């Protein structure tokens, strides 16, 4: 049913993504699908890496380790952005097309007061609204 699964990852917050990562791995195993770990970054230093090249190396190592330890096909994709807060959704939608993804598994925060007041926006909701493929949102 699914051949290519895309999982947006923040290497600085892997401890908060365990449920999402495990869900993606289980689905990849079940369907024999390839799993693409993707992250969007800008050129400034961040919590996970000092620059996009270092981040790409770390994400590739993470993908390889996950593939070996779980017996699945994995690869990594780092997308550069001028402003990740503004371009994140568009970059992810572009990655979905570029990688021939047929399922996205992504994390979302539980709704709270920030959502009710429209102070926070949900990246997962944007991907669901604008993508033509299935999106599995994990909380």
**H or E stretch at 66:** helix 52-70
The domain that holds 75 is classified in CATH as 3.40.50.620
Average pLDDT over all residues of the chain = 90
How many whole angstroms separate alpha carbon 83 and alpha carbon 63?
Answer: 25
Give pLDDT, residue 115.
46
State the average pLDDT over residues 39-46.
86
Q: Tell me the pLDDT band of 42, cut-offs 50, 70 and 90.
A: confident
**How many structural domains compose the chain?**
1
The answer to whether the CB of 105 falls within 8 A of the CB of 74 is no
Q: pLDDT (tens digit, 9 = 90+) per residue, 89-134?
A: 999 999 999 999 999 999 986 655 554 454 446 788 899 999 999 9
Residues sharing a CB contact under 8 Å with residue 61, sequence separation 6 or more, in sequence order: none
What is the residue range of 11's domain? 4-138
Q: Supply the pTM of this predicted model.
A: 0.89
């Amino acid at each position: 049913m699914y051949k290519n699964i895309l999982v947006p990852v923040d290497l600085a917050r892997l401890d908060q993504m365990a449920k999402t990562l495990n869900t993606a791995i289980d689905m990849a195993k079940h369907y024999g699908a390839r799993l693409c770990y993707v992250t969007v970054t800008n050129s400034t230093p961040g919590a996970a890496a000092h620059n996009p090249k270092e981040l790409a190396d770390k994400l590739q190592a993470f993908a390889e380790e996950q593939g070996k330890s779980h017996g699945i096909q994995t690869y990594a994709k780092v997308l550069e952005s001028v402003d990740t807060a503004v371009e994140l959704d568009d970059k992810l939608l572009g990655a979905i097309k570029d990688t021939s993804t047929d399922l996205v598994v992504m994390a979302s925060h539980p709704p709270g007061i920030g959502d009710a007041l429209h102070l926070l926006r949900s990246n997962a909701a944007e991907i669901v609204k604008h993508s033509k493929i299935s999106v599995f949102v994990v909380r």
